[in-house]
Amino acid sequence: MKALSILANWALSALVIFMLAEYVDGFKVDTYQTALIVALVLGIFNAVIRPILTILTLPINLVTFGLFSFVISAVLIMATDYFVTGFTVTSFVPALIAAVALWLINVVLSAVMFPVKVIPKP
């Protein structure tokens, strides 16, 4: 079940990335296969590099009540642009829009796949 949720998250993230290329100026993905690769590389960056950046930027993250996390995500999206051919982000604003959209999709996906169980009071 865990592997299925990871694959679903990966596929939906790739779909969001592919759709963002249609609606956001400055955000370009050549094919859906490229979007899958972008989602994979971004997932690896989020697993390896993001915790380090979060610890290093903890003071500013606390001052902004966690909103600086979107900036970290945008920077990781721009770093993904450097490593994946066929994926282009022209500036910081499209990367920030993509970071917010990916966060929103992941929140909805988590709520659907892992709903909070309320224990009734006796």
> Looking at the chain, how many residues does it have?
122
pLDDT for res 98: 92
Does the structure show a pLDDT above 90 at 37?
yes
pLDDT for res 95: 94
pTM of the predicted model as reported, rounded to 2 decimal places: 0.87
pLDDT band at 57 (very low <50, low <70, confident <90, very high): very high
Token representation of residue 51: 């915790």
Residue 73, domain extent = 2-113
Summarize the confidence of residues 111-115 as an average pLDDT: 77
Does the structure show a pLDDT above 90 at 118?
no
**120 lies in some domain:** no
Summarize the confidence of residues 99-103 as an average pLDDT: 91
How far is the CA of 54 from the CAs of 38, 46, 76, 98, 120, in angstroms?
Answer: 21, 10, 12, 19, 37
Ramachandran angles phi, psi of 115, nearest 5°: -70, 150
pLDDT for res 6: 81
User: Which residues 6+ apart lie within 8 Å of 11 measured at CB?
Assistant: 36, 39
Summarize the confidence of residues 84-104 as an average pLDDT: 93
**122 lies in some domain:** no
The domain total for the chain is: 1
